[in-house]
Structure 1
Amino acid sequence: MRTIATSTLNAGGQVLGIIPSFLKNMGLALDGLTETIETTNMDERKEEMLRQSDAFIVLPGGFGTYEEFTTMLSWSQINIHQKPIALFNINGYYDDIVAMLQKTIDAGFAPAENLSLFIDATSIEGIFDGFNHFHHELPYKYVN
């Protein structure tokens, strides 16, 4: 996140940072952002991210990234939001997660329509094409 934020600022762009107090207190906040919103905890951070975002692009990352992706996906399936979510699946990084989601559907724990709630993209062009064609269709989650 730091590299993307710094590169964006260096290119003249604007960056909004949303950080919980405990991470800021650990010295992990990046100075010089266009705006920083401090939250009390990680759950409040996700809620603020939802409020501030038009869409989500999930870059390769670790456990926190997975958790944020699945939270936004879960919130989409129960209609808390209707925003597009794109997995930026660089070099197959998210292939195993996509396979796990398919396995969840195959096992009957989620409807097949849930796969339309996110975009599996291997390029920037694929992300924007997915965003341009995205239509949130609320699956009936409770059929299985």
Structure 2
Amino acid sequence: MARICVYLGSREGNSPAFRQATNQLGRTLAERGHTLVYGGARVGLMGELANAALEAGGEVIGVMPDHLVEREQAHFGLSELIRVRNMHERKATMAANADAFIALPGGIGTLEELFEIWTWGYLGLHEKPMGLLNIDEFYSPLLTFLDSTVSHGFLASPTREMLFDAPSPNELLEVLEAQL
């Protein structure tokens, strides 16, 4: 099956829906035979996702720069923890180990990873599907903004259409799996 890279927060956010959907995604990835690739932390939504996938019998690969191993409290119970030198290597390693990408709620790091991998797709550096898990409409304002960039002529419709979105893990995985 596929290796799915998930970008998400090292914090839990303030809605129980974020944690519930994150746990559901972790379990669903494992149940469908996918390997989870993520940032390697044991805290926040990152830890929730990894633990849910592991508890469901899934394979989980974490990628974390040496300088964040202590700071982000690396998860040492993973199937594999890949330590890299810096954030650039982290993102490149995660991308190289993934067949598809999902962004869950998160902060600036999550958004930065999402936009970089989307840009790489736009530039033809990969043809892997990408999607947003729009839990509790977290990403709805961003989706409205992105649609606005199309209507204002700064983003082509085919580029916008590269980024899928769905409100539930099952719906998003079905869309991404159809693209693999």
Give TM-score scaled by structure 2 length.
0.70
The aligned residue for residue 74 of structure 1 is: 119
- Deviation at 1:26? 2.5
* Structure 1 outlier segments of 4+, above 2 Å: 132-135
SS in structure 1 at match of 2:158: helix
- Deviation at 1:101? 1.1
Deviates more, 1:81-90 or 1:20-29: 20-29
Distance (whole Å) between structure 1 residues aligned to residue 72 and residue 110 of structure 2: 20
Aligned-pair RMSD on alpha carbons? 1.5
Equivalent residues, number: 135
Alignment deviations for residues 75-99 of structure 1 (CA, whole Å, 9 cap, x no partner): 1111111101110001111011111
Match of 2:109, as an amino acid?
G
How high is the sequence identity, in percent, across the aligned residues?
A: 36
The aligned residue for residue 3 of structure 1 is: 48
Distance (whole Å) between structure 1 residues aligned to residue 124 and residue 179 of structure 2: 15
Pair 1:45 & 2:71 matched: no
Distance (whole Å) between structure 1 residues aligned to residue 131 and residue 72 of structure 2: 30
Alignment gaps of 5+ in structure 2: 1-45
- Deviation at 1:27? 5.5
Alignment gaps of 5+ in structure 1: 136-144
Give TM-score scaled by structure 1 length.
0.87
Q: Higher RCO, 1 or 2 (CA under 8 Å, sep at least 6)?
A: 2
Alignment deviations for residues 55-91 of structure 1 (CA, whole Å, 9 cap, x no partner): 1111111111111111111111111111011100011
